[in-house]
Amino acid sequence: MSDLSSLSVTAALIGLARGDFTSRDLTHACLAAILKHDPELRCFLAAEPEMALAAADAADARRRKGGDLPPLLGLPIAVKDVLAVEGMTATAGSRILSGFQPPYTATAVRRLLDAGVVILGKTNTDEFAMGSSTENSAFFTTHNPWNTERVPGGSSGGSAAAVAARLTPAALGSDTGGSVRQPASFCGVTGLKPTYGRVSRYGLIAYGSSLDTVGVLARGAEDVTALFNVMAGHDPLDATSADRPAPDVRLSAGATLKGLRVGVPEEYFIEGIQPEVEERVRAAIEELKTLGATVQPVNLPHTKYALPVYYLIAPAEASANLARFDGVRYGLRVENEDVIEMFKDTRGAGFGPEVIRRIMLGTYALSAGYYDAYYGQAQKVRTLIARDFLAAFEQVDVIAAPVAPTTAFKIGGHGDDPLAMYLEDVFTLPANLAGVPGLAFPVGFDAAGLPVGMQLMGRHFEEETLLQVAHAYQQTTDWHTRVPEHK
């Protein structure tokens, strides 16, 4: 039997259905890979071997019983530690939630559990999903499996690295400003940020409520589709959930893209972009042309404002959302007889420097006398960014662009320069501000052997188009099948 932990979602589901191996076999192989490689990579905040094997045994028993079986029965996955799973801790990578166990499960996770998945454990994240490198985790930094001196990206770095290292066939992430797509690019995997409202946010520990999305990371578009079809759909528990029927994305076997119009925004090919990133992305766009697509330039003129707009809106929402962590009801409490001092001491000890920075930025932007000048103005420009996308999608079906200006940078490479870190998300932020779906997938490597990713952005609720384009590309290329040397 080959190394089962290296199987893709698609291959794993086929093998399980044929009886080539059991869910216990597959889950045990993933847990063994975690035990072997995670001490170096640090992808998991908490693996759950006993719970995982018990769930795998239950899946095997259900398969033996026969009948109408759920679509993902026995498939092991990992979950980013910003999503609530009953019976597992949910820290959001923060000391302020140390030991917290939610009494409920996030809707996206619940739907996957109902579809038969086995949860291997919770993956590392930048604290409250605030970061682009997973260096902001309160517990430890995750390492990129392609080069352990490099970051895996963030904030879903633990999930992306775990998929790339073949510790799990797939993992869940969250994307507020690029936190699924950027680590997917840095780690050479495929990552989907759905349309805002397409996947329920219930049970997702909130960062920026008008921006947060729950996404998927896996090897290829076909694998991502299998999980997305289950997760997406209306949820009455989430007031921002779109009242639309659940998708039923079926990817065609053919690799033709005849009739597809691809837009290329020059605003995304900026001065300072790593030359190899631009070369690989433009080569991938040429491959789409070879597959039958037509390519034309599009303009997204307000893209240059996305970074300042995001870093007013997201911190403002974080300032409000993180006010609930005060030491009163759950998580860390620094005892003090004076309740106000207890609040201060708990938040001071529990939040890391990046979270504190963003809370302060957001509180300032919302304060009396500054609200209209900063937060209010940012919301107006956000509308202009969204209109840019609407205008572009009147001319094209998808927009193709780099995911990040560079490949994975060295751990500690941005040191105490938060602006340099924020610039890592300059190409991913606009899709969140506009609420449109985005899909990142590997299109090559740089001279140092680090993955390069391209992203496709589409019209609201047209994830199927993005997945179909990536699937067609992945049928004629093998970048998504490349494996880091440690395997």
- Tell me, yes or no, if 487 is annotated catalytic: no
Q: How far is CA 335 from CA 44, 342, 347, in A?
A: 30, 6, 12
Q: Note whether residue 317 is domain-resident.
A: no
Contact (Cβ atoms closer than 8 angstroms) between residue 52 and residue 24: no
Instruction: List b or e across 276-305, with b for residues whose CB sees 16 or more CB atoms inside 10 angstroms.
Output: bbbebbbebbebbeebebebeebebebbeb
For the chain, how many residues are written? Answer: 487
- pLDDT of 468 over the 50 cut: yes
Round to whole Å and give the CA distance between 59 and 74: 5
What is the residue-wise DSSP string for 173-204? EEESSSTTHHHHHHHT-EEEEPPTTTS--TTB
Query: pTM for this one?
Result: 0.97
Contact (Cβ atoms closer than 8 angstroms) between residue 298 and residue 399: yes
pLDDT in tens, 440-456: 999 999 999 999 999 99
Q: What is the mean pLDDT of residues 419-442?
A: 96
Pick the catalytic residue from 133, 155, 156, 200.
Answer: 155
Q: Note whether residue 432 is domain-resident.
A: yes
- pLDDT of 487 over the 90 cut: no
Supply φ then ψ for residue 453, to 5 degrees. Answer: -115, 150
Q: Note whether residue 351 is domain-resident.
A: no
Range of the domain at 464: 4-263+395-481
In this prediction, residue 2 carries a pLDDT of: 54
Q: Note whether residue 286 is domain-resident.
A: no
**Residue 263: in which H helix or E strand, if any?**
strand 261-265
Q: Note whether residue 381 is domain-resident.
A: no
Pick the catalytic residue from 179, 185, 200, 319.
Answer: 179
- pLDDT of 1 over the 60 cut: no
Contact (Cβ atoms closer than 8 angstroms) between residue 350 and residue 341: no
In this prediction, residue 286 carries a pLDDT of: 98
Q: How many domains does one find in the chain?
A: 1
- Tell me, yes or no, if 200 is annotated catalytic: no
Contact (Cβ atoms closer than 8 angstroms) between residue 139 and residue 125: no
Q: What is the mean pLDDT of residues 433-445?
A: 98
- pLDDT of 83 over the 60 cut: yes
CATH number, residue 406: 3.90.1300.10
Count CB-CB contacts under 10 A for residue 243.
9
Q: Identify residue 416 by its one-letter amino acid code.
A: D
Q: Note whether residue 130 is domain-resident.
A: yes
In this prediction, residue 486 carries a pLDDT of: 61
Q: Note whether residue 63 is domain-resident.
A: yes
Q: Say whether the peptide bond before residue 8 is cis (omega within 30 degrees of 0).
A: no
Average pLDDT, the chain: 96
Q: What is the mean pLDDT of residues 295-300?
A: 98
What is the residue-wise DSSP string for 53-116? HHHHHHHHHHHHH-SS--TTTT-EEEEETTB--TTS---TT-GGGTT---SS--HHHHHHHHTT
313 pLDDT band, cuts 50/70/90, is: very high
Q: What is the mean pLDDT of residues 146-154?
A: 98
Count CB-CB contacts under 10 A for residue 437.
28
pLDDT in tens, 152-189: 999 999 999 999 999 999 999 999 999 999 999 999 99
pLDDT in tens, 205-258: 999 999 999 999 999 999 999 999 999 999 999 999 999 998 999 999 877 899
**The pair of three-digit structure tokens given for residue 28, joined into one six-digit string:** 């045990």
- pLDDT of 469 over the 80 cut: yes
Contact (Cβ atoms closer than 8 angstroms) between residue 190 and residue 477: no
In this prediction, residue 144 carries a pLDDT of: 98
- pLDDT of 72 over the 70 cut: yes
> What letter would DSSP give residue 142?
-
- Tell me, yes or no, if 36 is annotated catalytic: no
Pick the catalytic residue from 23, 80, 241, 319.
Answer: 80
pLDDT in tens, 121-132: 999 999 999 999
pLDDT in tens, 381-415: 999 999 999 999 999 999 999 999 999 999 999 98
Q: What is the mean pLDDT of residues 103-112?
A: 98
In this prediction, residue 416 carries a pLDDT of: 80
Cβ burial of 271 (10 Å; 0-12, 13-18, 19+) is exposed
Q: Note whether residue 270 is domain-resident.
A: no
